[in-house]
C-alpha cells in the first residue's frame, strides 16, 4: 500500500533562509510524486510533480524537489524564503493505473519570519 510521511508538522524559517520540507513515501510500485501548496482559506495549488525522467524537478515560485529512490524521499527545497511562502505544503503520491488517485501526507505548515 502507498503512504506518505511528512516530517515536521510545523517548520519556521527566517526570510532569506533555506527552506527544506521533508517527504518520505512508501510504494510497492513506481510512484508519481507531487507537492501542493495551500494558502489560507484557499484550495490546493500544484507546486511541482515527478512522474518519470529527471529526478530533480523544478516548480513554481523557485521551489524544487529531488526524487531519491534509494531513500524513498521527495524533499522540497527553496534556497531563499520569502514572506509570501508562508502556507501549508502537502506531499502526495500516485501511481500508474490508479485513476490518478492521490494519497496525501499530513501537511507541513511553513512560517517565515522577518
Partner 1 sequence: NAGVTQTPKFQVLKTGQSMTLQCAQDMNHNSMYWYRQDPGMGLRLIYYSASEGTTDKGEVPNGYNVSRLNKREFSLRLESAAPSQTSVYFCASSGGTGVKEQYFGPGTRLTVT
Catalog residues that contact partner 1 under the rule CB under 8 A.
4, 9, 32, 34, 36, 41-46, 49, 51, 90, 94-96, 99-107
We find the least distance from the C-beta atom of residue 86 to partner 1, in angstroms, to be 17
Q: Between residues 72 and 95, which has the closer beta carbon with respect to partner 1? A: 95
Q: Between residues 17 and 22, which has the closer beta carbon with respect to partner 1? A: 22
We find the least distance from the C-beta atom of residue 7 to partner 1, in angstroms, to be 14
DSSP 100: T
Count the Cβ atoms, other than its own, within 10 Å of residue 3. 12
Cβ atoms of 58 and 65 within 8 Å: the answer is no
We find the least distance from the C-beta atom of residue 11 to partner 1, in angstroms, to be 15
Nearest C-alpha neighbor of 71 from the set 24, 104, 31, 32: 24
Q: Between residues 100 and 114, which has the closer beta carbon with respect to partner 1? A: 100
Cα dist from 101 to 10, 42, 53, 72, 97, whole Å: 26, 21, 21, 19, 9
Amino acid at each position: 500500500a502507498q503512504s506518505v510521511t511528512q516530517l515536521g508538522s510545523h517548520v519556521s524559517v527566517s526570510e532569506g533562509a533555506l527552506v527544506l520540507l521533508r517527504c518520505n513515501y512508501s510504494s510497492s510500485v513506481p510512484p508519481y510524486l507531487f507537492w501542493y501548496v495551500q494558502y489560507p482559506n484557499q484550495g490546493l495549488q500544484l507546486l511541482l510533480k515527478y512522474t518519470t525522467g529527471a529526478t530533480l524537478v523544478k516548480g513554481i515560485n523557485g521551489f524544487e524537489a529531488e526524487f531519491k529512490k534509494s531513500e524513498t524521499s521527495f524533499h522540497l527545497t527553496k534556497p531563499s524564503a520569502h514572506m509570501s511562502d508562508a502556507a501549508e505544503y502537502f506531499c502526495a503520491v500516485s501511481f500508474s493505473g490508479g485513476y490518478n488517485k492521490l494519497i496525501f501526507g499530513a501537511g507541513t505548515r511553513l512560517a517565515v519570519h522577518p
